[in-house]
């Protein structure tokens, strides 16, 4: 599903920063992979590259066989929109939209027919246990609920890969457990989940771990 070979990302600066020097690993469908490492080691940079939000400055990144380095911006956007889902440390819910409209955002930008969106959005919200808050404004939700809206939004279009950057970073332990349960359930036969974290209890849930140290990312021997 994901294959990285000596992927690097250097920010031109000045000063020039080699945030990611060498990432070489694979992620297959049906697995959950944790990316761990100290602060500033390049985890978020790596995840942005995986998410086609940022372009590597060296190496090759194959997403399900497609060499992403050869894609134009429009195709990258399209591939990202159809294949990937994102959960960040902040929920990034749009304050002026209710839960349904927030969750339907990816469908809107994908061009899914308008009639089908509420059905999919409602199903996604129910799957994260928010069936009773469909039309709530985000500012009336708790932090844990907001993050669950973000997860619903990340999966509403059934992405092949779910990318999460510190998804439980803002949550207490109870909400962390709930979110991890959700993520675990999202690992299916044709979907991979990648979670950046520095919390051991998160890493423990993952089948495999990729460790990033000073820009070098490699699978941790089990």
Partner 1 sequence: MRLPWRRKGKDDDLAGLGAVNNGRKVRTSPRDALIQAALAVKGRRLRSSLTIAGVALGIATAIGTLGITASAAGAVSDRFDAIKATQVTARYPEGIAAPPGAASENVRSLNGVEQAGLSCKAQDLDVGRNAYGKTVNLSAMAAQSEAMVAYQASLDQGRWFDAGHGERGDPVVMLDTAAAAQLGIKSLVDGPMVFIGGQPYLVVGIFTAPDNETRFTRAVVFPYERCLGGGFSAAEAIVRTSPGAAQQVATEVALALHPQAPARLTVTTPPDLETFQQGVQSETQALFLGLAAISLLIAAIGISNTTYVAVLERKPEIGLRRATGATRSAITVQFLFESGILGLVGGTIGTILGVDATAAAALGKDWLVILDPLLLAGGPLLGLVVGTLAGIYPALAAARLHPVEALRTA
Ligand X SMILES: Nc1ncnc2c1ncn2[C@@H]1O[C@H](COP(=O)(O)OP(=O)(O)OP(=O)(O)O)[C@@H](O)[C@H]1O
- Smaller CB distance to partner 1: residue 64 or 173? 64
Whichever of 154 and 179 has its CB closer to partner 1, that residue is 154
Reported as half-sphere exposure (CB side, CA atoms, 13 A), residue 125 has a value of 23
Question: Residue with structure tokens 């990648």?
Answer: 194
Number of Cβ within a 10 Å radius of residue 207: 14
The secondary structure element, H or E, covering residue 21 is strand 17-27
138 binds partner 1 (CB under 8 A): no
Among 2, 33, 34, 45, binds ligand X (CB under 6 A): 45
126 binds partner 1 (CB under 8 A): no
Q: Rounded CA gap, 67 and 99, in Å?
A: 35
Compose the 187-216 pattern: x for residues touching ligand X by CB under 6 A, - for all others. -----------x------------------
Is residue 140 involved in binding partner 1 (CB under 8 A)? no
In angstroms, the CA 109 to CA 98 distance is 17
Question: x/- site string to partner 1, residues 79 to 108, per CB under 8 A?
Answer: xxxxx--x-xxx-x-xxxx---x---xx-x
Which are the contacts of 33, defined by CB distance < 8 A and separation ≥ 6? 27, 192, 193, 194, 195, 206, 207, 208, 209, 210
Contacts with partner 1 by CB under 8 A lie at: 48, 51, 53-54, 63-66, 71, 73-75, 77-83, 86, 88-90, 92, 94-97, 101, 105-106, 108-112, 114, 120, 123, 153, 157-158, 160, 190
């Amino acid at each position: 599903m994901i294959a990285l070979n000596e992927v690097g990302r250097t920010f031109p600066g000045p000063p020039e920063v080699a945030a990611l020097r060498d990432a070489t690993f694979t992620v297959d469908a049906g697995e959950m992979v944790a990316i761990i490492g100290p602060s500033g080691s390049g985890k978020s940079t790596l995840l942005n590259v995986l998410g086609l939000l940022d372009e590597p400055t060296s190496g090759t990144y194959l997403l399900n066989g497609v060499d992403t380095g050869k894609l134009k911006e429009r195709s990258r956007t399209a591939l990202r929109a159809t294949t990937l889902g994102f959960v960040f440390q902040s929920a990034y819910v749009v304050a002026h939209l209710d839960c349904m409209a927030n969750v339907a955002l990816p469908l809107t930008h994908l061009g899914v027919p308008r009639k089908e969106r509420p059905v999919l959005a409602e199903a996604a919200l129910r799957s994260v246990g928010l069936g009773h808050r469909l039309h709530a404004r985000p500012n009336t939700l708790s932090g844990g609920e907001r993050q669950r809206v973000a997860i619903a939004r990340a999966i509403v279009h059934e992405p092949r890969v779910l990318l999460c950057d510190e998804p439980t970073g803002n949550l207490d332990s109870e909400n962390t457990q709930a979110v991890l349960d959700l993520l675990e359930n999202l690992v299916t036969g044709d979907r991979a989940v990648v979670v950046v974290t520095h919390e051991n209890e998160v890493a423990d849930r993952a089948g495999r771990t990729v460790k990033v140290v000073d820009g070098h990312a490699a699978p941790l021997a089990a």
